[in-house]
Amino acid sequence: MTARVLSGLEFGRNPLRVLALGGALVSLAFFLLPIAYLLSVSFKRKDDVLAGNFLPVDPTLDNWPGAFAATSLTTFIANSVIVSVLAGILTIAITLPAAYAMIRMGVFRRFLPQATLASYIAPPVVGLIPFFFLLKTIGLLNTHAGLILVYGLLNIPVAFWLIGPFLRRVPVEIEEAAALDGAGRFRTLVSVVAPIIAPGIAATTIIVVILSFNEFLLASGLTLTDGMRTLTVGISLFQGDRLVNFGQMAAASLAGIVPIYLIAFLMQKHLVEGLAKGGVK
């Protein structure tokens, strides 16, 4: 007990620790305040929303069942989860061998990193029309497969730059030992290198899945029916011609972020571990 009191006094006397604690609390409030406000709006009536109060004056639960009844919200959420997860797997399946070939075998080493980065700098709207007609030509417009293909290819630059540092940190001697045992390049990558950099692969997969889950512009142009629309597009449907139903929109937004928050929560150990190891030289 005495030690705790002394520790608390020492903490209170250290201005740097007090400043760090204050900064942490401000950061926490900054990230939680939008979620808290969204939760508050989901229980407000229309007049209450327009009044601008932070807390609902006359709370109601009608917005929650109303959000599911007004649109195909469950289908939108399922579409987002299916498309983002499969697109993340596709991205890793393409990026991992490509990055390994460049780093270990020198394939296109001079221009491939700059080329991937340059392609990602362009705004997504630039690719909307070409992707639309490309998917229409091959019969994948307004399908899960088409959106998975687009997201899986678009996120390759991000995955490439995230996985690269992990591959460079794998000792070459380990791969040479695998080669002496008769393992080829592909087997070495799958059986030896991939398990070593598993935290980095997991962290990269989570990041690209979140990027795909939150994308709106391409999803709005490449999906045409409610059965194929993703969550971000579905939420925009709550905006009518003259009136925006903010209460139902808030309820739909909170219900929609549950799956991606759940994935991030369950995988946060791998995400933090992977990002930490990727930053260590």
Q: Note the pLDDT tens digit of each residue in 165-180.
A: 888 888 888 888 888 8
The full 3-state SS of 157-216, as one line of letters, equals: HHHHHHHHHHHHCCCHHHHHHHHHCCCCHHHHHHHHHHHHCHHHHHHHHHHHHHHHHHCC
pLDDT at 13: 62
> Is the pLDDT assigned to residue 16 strictly greater than 90?
no
pLDDT at 171: 87
CA distance linking residue 134 with residue 144, whole number of Å: 15
- Per the rule left: phi > 0, alpha: psi between -120 and 50, beta: everything else, 59 is beta
The amino acid occupying position 22 is G
Tokens of 250: 């808030």
pLDDT at 265: 79
Comparing 147 with 182, the larger pLDDT belongs to: 147
Residue whose C-alpha is closest to residue 273's, from 192, 165, 201, 211: 201
Show Cβ contacts of residue 1 under 8 Å, excluding neighbours closer than 6 positions: none
Helix or strand (DSSP H, E) at 145? helix 144-154
Cβ pair 218, 128 in contact under 8 A: yes
Residue whose C-alpha is closest to residue 156's, from 128, 189, 116, 200: 116
State mean pLDDT over 86-98: 94
> Is the pLDDT assigned to residue 41 strictly greater than 80?
yes
The amino acid occupying position 150 is V
Triad 50, 25, 267: Cα angle to 5°: 90
Tell me: the pLDDT tens digits for 213-266?
999 999 999 999 989 999 999 988 887 666 778 888 999 999 988 888 888 777
The amino acid occupying position 254 is L
> Is the pLDDT assigned to residue 278 strictly greater than 50?
yes
Q: Which residues of 36-52 are buried (b: 16+ CB within 10 A; e: fewer)?
A: eebebbbbbbeebbeee
Sign of the torsion formed by the C-alpha atoms of 113, 118, 121 and 123: negative
Tell me: the pLDDT tens digits for 25-36?
888 888 888 889
Residue positions counted in the chain? 281
